[in-house]
């Protein structure tokens, strides 16, 4: 069995049994969050059982997306972000984020296990014996990172759309409140006019 280590960006070359890199387990900023998020995702994706699941699953993209969200959620939680902000950052509901962080989803459980392994062993990714060359492994990692970028772009787009919908909702809410105020004023005026008419009728009678 060959060993691998990380060199130049995210390239891997054949040198030994594992590849290692120092990863911030308690991120202090966006760059640290990104490093931990990426390490969690790749570390989870390279597990033999996960690779097997992805290969056999008909919903590979959904699987990878769930793992990416779970990895992003855990990395942000370790940076001290509240669930509401994580949900907004990743474009998911707070309920989804909580389920991932609590390990109630399979993706959340797998990513949590990867993090706990990092805590015990450091960032050591064992390359599974699946009969692929390191060039192919590099290609797969690049594909995963490309997918991550695409998913992040989708998240940003959804966040933008969500903000626009919130702004539209607030405008409509304000408009409804103004209409309600005007309606109440008209209603009061009508009631007052009715009372005046009743007084006139009573006087004539």
Instruction: Give residue-wise pLDDT tens across range 160-203.
Output: 888 888 888 888 888 888 888 888 888 887 888 887 777 777 77
Q: Model's pTM, two decimal places?
A: 0.51
138 lies in some domain? yes
Which tens digits make up the pLDDT trace of 92-117? 999 999 999 998 999 999 999 989 98
Quick check: 152 pLDDT over 90? no
Average pLDDT over residues 106-130: 77
Strands 18-20 and 124-126: antiparallel
Which tens digits make up the pLDDT trace of 56-80? 777 777 878 888 999 999 999 999 9
36 lies in some domain? yes
Contacts (Cβ under 8 Å, ≥6 apart) of 151 = 65, 68
102 lies in some domain? yes
First to last CA, the chain: 110
176 lies in some domain? no
Q: How many domains does the chain have?
A: 1
For residue 12, list its beta bridge partners: 6
Length of the chain: 205
Average pLDDT score over the chain:
78
CB 12 within 8 A of CB 5: yes
């Amino acid at each position: 069995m060959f060993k691998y280590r990380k060199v130049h960006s995210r390239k891997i070359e054949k040198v030994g049994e594992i590849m290692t890199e120092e990863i911030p387990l308690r991120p202090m900023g966006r760059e640290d969050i990104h490093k931990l998020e990426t390490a969690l995702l790749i570390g989870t994706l390279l597990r033999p059982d996960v690779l097997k699941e992805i290969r056999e699953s008909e919903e590979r993209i959904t699987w990878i997306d769930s793992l990416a969200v779970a990895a992003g959620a855990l990395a942000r939680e370790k940076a001290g972000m509240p669930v509401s902000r994580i949900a907004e950052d990743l474009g998911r509901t707070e309920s989804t984020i909580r389920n991932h962080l609590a390990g109630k989803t399979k993706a959340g459980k797998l990513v949590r296990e990867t993090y706990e392994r990092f805590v015990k062993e450091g960032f050591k990714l064992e390359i599974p014996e699946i009969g692929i060359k390191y060039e192919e492994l590099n290609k797969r990692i690049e594909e995963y990172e490309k997918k991550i970028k695409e998913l992040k772009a989708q998240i940003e787009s959804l966040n933008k759309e969500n903000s626009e919908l919130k702004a539209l909702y607030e405008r409509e809410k304000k408009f409804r409140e103004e209409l309600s105020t005007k309606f109440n004023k008209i209603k009061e005026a009508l009631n007052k006019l009715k009372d005046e008419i009743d007084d006139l009728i009573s006087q004539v009678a």
